[in-house]
Chains A and B, each alone.
Chain A
Amino acid sequence: MIEVKHLTKTFKLKKKQPGLWGTVRGLFSGEYEAKCAVEDISFAIRRGEMVGYIGANGAGKSTTIKIMTGILAPSSGSCTVNGTVPYENRQQNARNIGVVFGQRTQLWWDLQLSETFSILKEIYNVPAKAYRDTMEFLDSVLDLHEFMTNPVRTLSLGQRMRADLAAALLHRPAVVFLDEPTIGLDVLVKEKMRQAIKEINQTFGATVVLTTHDLSDIEELCPRIIMIDHGRLVYDGSLQNIKDRYGAMKMLKFEVKEAGEARKIRLSTAGLAEQDLKSWCEGHSYFVSFNRHKLGIAEIVAQVMAQAEVLDISIAETGIEDIVKGIYRNELAL
């Protein structure tokens, strides 16, 4: 459905010196700096898949999405969506895709929300019956009727996002690109958005590519994740796989009476790989992150208790958040 091959996008940025004088000088210098936003990324997504496209801020997610939606041409490499090259046949590609950019809107700002839908109906030539059915479906999941006759500029963020998602799905696109569709939403609205995304995938068989910083979105929706960092692909595979590999990690937190004592604690690391046991301290707290298949809790507790006066102990499971954070910080090698 989507094929991305050796995709690279380099932006040309005019070199700027700081300050007013630098700006003035910049006007006359022809110096450019190349900024590589996406570098040699390849992946393939099958029809009906739901893929989480994740990475830290500035990793190049939006840039990739822009290329796949046909509004940005890559510097090199290629990409096809549903057999179409998006940046060469933008209009044809547009018929097949639905797009939500979380921080933008495609709604008509000064008109009633309902007007947006009737305009989109004409733009995409949606037949009357299909239009009614889809609207009914979207309304049932996203509760649009509550604000259907309000001018778009008066909608709250959550209402606007729901409406934007509906607007992207009205023509039942085969591929849906969602760039941070849940940004700034409360738990209930998020739940509605996820429900809608899940249902268009299940009932219409839409292929979904989703970027988000909320990993619970991913956990709930995407069996597969593609992770990029600094424009490069760092992981492409199942979410379960990552969880299996790193979900074995547990964390222990000790409250120690004396901060000085905490700093002196040393655990014996004989025969353990570096990523299986890690420890650090913050003030009166001493943290140990360890692989529970390789090391028992009791042993660690015993070692720590022998070296310091411990006031409290707590145990935390490592969530997907921590795993991804670790990967972003290059702590966990993949």
Chain B
Amino acid sequence: MKRIFQRFRTYWPFAVSEIQMVMSYPANYLMFVFGGIMTTFVTYYLWLAVFKSSPTATLAGFTLQQMIAYVFVSTMTSSLISVGTDQKIAREVRDGSIAMNLIKPIRYRIMYLFKAIGNFLHQFVLIALPLLFILIAVLHLMPGGITAVGLYVFSFSLSFVIQFLFDNLFGLVAFFTINTWGLSVTKNVVVAFFSGAVIPLAFFPEWLQRTLLFFPFGSMVYTPTMFYLGKFAGLQAAAAILTQGLWVVLLGILNHWAWTKAVKRLTILGG
């Protein structure tokens, strides 16, 4: 217990400094928050228009109310879990500043986990809380009740870890190719589309839905959001959580393997 506490004290400053860092450019940060909330509203009005012009009251099993909740929760989820770990690692490799982290008695990946937590925390306060306030207090949209919120929180923490491990894996690619900009852009588009952050996976053909749910993408945004909506129940809920758990383990192993390979290949640039 004491050791865990000690570990925590060692890495916690990385989370805090991440928060302090964004706070040191307040104008930039406000724009970021504003942009995040704007995106939500743009998508919101888009779906509103889609539903207005549709002859049926439900689309792919979503009512308008559910769709609105989906938009809020999925944007929030995807912004909370996307902290850009892959780009940060790639940058450190490219300019060689990774050296300054490797000369410290810390685990590089744990350090990044804590940085991700720091990013999560400030985004939670400044983006998620306002969105949640509008969603619950103003629009009264909590379709699945309090149990669904609990399940969401649990599923969300798994999807946070999945996205983190996934990004880490992409960051490690930089150890081999040095520049990963193109790859990163492609990855972000693919993830945004296939994770359900843009369109609910329920709108895709049945076979694609199944495939995506089985890939880590679906586990990132779609699964937790569906929990919030109370749309996953019974066997389906169990399967979804199981899939998420499986991905955590699988990506964790893959990460460990890739890291041991990558760190041997690493050539610190510059100097």
Q: Please, which residue of chain B has its CB at the minimum distance from the CB of A124?
A: B105
Q: Please, which residue of chain A has its CB at the minimum distance from the CB of B271?
A: A62
Residue among A62, A71, A108 making CB contact with B266, cutoff 8 Å: A71
Contact A110 B20 (CB under 8 A): yes
With contacts A72-B266, A122-B10, A123-B10 taken as known, whether A110 is within 8 angstroms of B271 at the C-beta atoms is no
Interface string of A166-199 (1 = CB under 8 A from B): 0000000000000100000000000000000000
Residue among A11, A72, A110 making CB contact with B24, cutoff 8 Å: A110
Residues from chain B with a CB closer than 8 A to the CB of A94 are: 102-106
Given the complex of chains A and B, what is the CA–CA distance between A97 and B97 in angstroms? 18
Contact A122 B271 (CB under 8 A): no
Q: How many interface residues does B have (CB within 8 Å)?
A: 28
Q: How far is the CB of A148 from chain B (nearest CB, A)?
A: 16
B59 interface residue (CB < 8 Å to A):
no
Q: Please, which residue of chain B has its CB at the minimum distance from the CB of A106?
A: B100
Q: Please, which residue of chain B has its CB at the minimum distance from the CB of A118?
A: B13
Contact A95 B105 (CB under 8 A): yes
Q: How far is the CB of A211 from chain B (nearest CB, A)?
A: 10
Q: Which residues of A, 231-260, contact B by the 8 Å Cβ criterion? A: none
Contact B106 A123 (CB under 8 A): yes
Given the complex of chains A and B, what is the CA–CA distance between A119 and B9 in angstroms? 10
Q: Which residues of A, 49-102, contact B by the 8 Å Cβ criterion? A: 62, 65-66, 69-73, 90-92, 94-95, 97, 99, 101
B107 interface residue (CB < 8 Å to A):
yes
Residue among B96, B98, B100, B102 making CB contact with A90, cutoff 8 Å: B102
Contact A106 B270 (CB under 8 A): no
A103 interface residue (CB < 8 Å to B):
yes
With contacts A115-B20, A119-B17, A179-B271 taken as known, whether A104 is within 8 angstroms of B105 at the C-beta atoms is no
A interface, by DSSP: helix, strand, loop or mixed? mixed
With contacts A62-B271, A66-B271, A72-B266 taken as known, whether A106 is within 8 angstroms of B103 at the C-beta atoms is yes
Given the complex of chains A and B, what is the CA–CA distance between A124 and B13 in angstroms? 12
Residues from chain A with a CB closer than 8 A to the CB of B14 are: 119
Contact B97 A104 (CB under 8 A): yes
Given the complex of chains A and B, what is the CA–CA distance between A54 and B100 in angstroms? 22
Given the complex of chains A and B, what is the CA–CA distance between A62 and B17 in angstroms? 30
Residues from chain A with a CB closer than 8 A to the CB of B6 are: 125
With contacts A71-B268, A72-B268, A151-B24 taken as known, whether A123 is within 8 angstroms of B103 at the C-beta atoms is no
Residue among A73, A115, A124 making CB contact with B17, cutoff 8 Å: A115
Taking A71-B98, A111-B20 as known contacts, 9 extra A-B pairs with beta carbons closer than 8 A to each other, sorted by chain A number, are A66-B99, A71-B102, A91-B105, A97-B103, A99-B103, A108-B17, A111-B21, A122-B13, A123-B105
B→A interface (CB under 8 Å): 6, 9-10, 12-14, 17, 20-21, 24-25, 96-100, 102-107, 264, 266-268, 270-271
A→B interface (CB under 8 Å): 11, 62, 65-66, 69-73, 90-92, 94-95, 97, 99, 101, 103-106, 108, 110-111, 115, 118-119, 122-125, 151, 179
